[in-house]
Amino acid sequence: MVGFVSAFLLPKKPETLFVWQIATHPSQQGKGIATSLIQHLLTRPFCQPIVHVEATISPDNKASFRLFEKLAETLHTSIHHEPLFGKELFPDSHEDEDLYRVGPISQKELKNQEETR
């Protein structure tokens, strides 16, 4: 396995796909695998009502930030972030987790991306 993604629709905001975990094997990073995983998820039938993608990212996780920034660029939409969980809330030595939100996402834009890949 070279890549993995888990995500769910937020129960109170079913138009939002929350990316819980995403990872690409270190030997395969930077080849567009994580981007493809998210874009593929977004074209599945259960994601048709999706308007936003959310994820939490620690400030030091540059790769993850760039992944979601690139998703926003590719889909010609915006990315916003706000503080969510401060490091004092974690029992171990963990960085802050900020909430990132990509969207609004147009299904037409998604279809265009799928066709050009």
Ligand X SMILES: CC(C)(COP(=O)(O)OP(=O)(O)OC[C@H]1O[C@@H](n2cnc3c(N)ncnc32)[C@H](O)[C@@H]1OP(=O)(O)O)[C@@H](O)C(=O)NCCC(=O)NCCS
Closest to 75 measured CA to CA, from 105, 37, 34: 105
Q: Judged by CB under 6 A, does residue 33 bind ligand X? A: yes
Which residues in 36-65 contact ligand X (CB under 6 A)?
61-64
Rounded Cα distance between 15 and 74, Å, is: 19
Which residues face 80 on adjacent strands? 101
- Spell out, one character per residue from 69 to 98, where the chain touches ligand X: x when CB under 6 A holds, - when not: -x----------------------------
Q: Which of 16, 35, 75, 100 binds ligand X (CB under 6 A)?
A: 35
* Tokens representing residue 79 in the block: 């990315």
Which positions touch ligand X (CB under 6 A)? 21-24, 29-35, 61-64, 66-67, 70
